[in-house]
Chains A and B, each alone.
Chain A
Amino acid sequence: QKEVEQNSGPLSVPEGAIASLNCTYSDRGSQSFFWYRQYSGKSPELIMFIYSNGDKEDGRFTAQLNKASQYVSLLIRDSQPSDSATYLCAAQSSGGYQKVTFGTGTKLQVIP
């Protein structure tokens, strides 16, 4: 079974610090990886996606991908209380309908 693993947390960081969220995936055929943020009771919203090895930066967010290690991470710089949410890592398969499998999410708490 194709899986995406995340530490459920909660991960607590002080305001202004860097939050580091990690994810591993089992399907080596996965081609694209996504980070979604989900507030309680709401639908996921896309933060970033990455498909090449290395780093990808967008504002305060940096996604990192290491396909050899099957590892994806998200760094949030200058964390704000509004960043407090559950962060879902997702992997997209390369075949068929390119299904997307989600991890269980990491709950992030940014302490003011």
Chain B
Amino acid sequence: GAVVSQHPSRVICKSGTSVKIECRSLDFQATTMFWYRQFPKKSLMLMATSNEGSKATYEQGVEKDKFLINHASLTLSTLTVTSAHPEDSSFYICSARDFVEGQHSPLHFGNGTRLTVT
């Protein structure tokens, strides 16, 4: 149970284009999803908290106009990297928690998206 699917797994795009990453909870409903970013040999940094039916909550230093998050349903959140630049190249990982598992339920991660901007 508690499977999170993320797509695409890899994407290469040119500078100035936009890229959309999808995150789905396959067997549970996720009112909240979390988007992380990881640079090589670094830890996961929380970018934003995605809330179903409302605006995302962004961490300090994350540009909300650049990283657009939409959480239109209880099983789908999307992250769009707008006007991508080479410095946006990173590993983006979404995660969600199945609250049916209880108060201390862990985050379940998607497989991540490796974004390369040329």
| A residues apposed to B, CB below 8 Å | 31-32, 34, 36, 41-46, 49, 51, 88, 90, 92, 97-105
Contact = CB atoms under 8 A, between A and B. Distances in A.
A34 B42 contact: no
Interface of B: 6, 32, 34, 36, 42-46, 49, 51, 57, 91, 93, 95, 97, 103-104, 106-112, 114
Contacts of B91: 41
A21 to B, nearest CB: 14
Nearest to B46: A99
Given A36-B109, A105-B43, 8 more contacts: A43-B111, A43-B112, A44-B109, A46-B107, A92-B104, A102-B36, A102-B45, A104-B43
Given A34-B107, A46-B106, A49-B104, A100 B34 contact: yes
A98 B97 contact: yes
Contact of A101 (B42, B46, B95, B104): B46
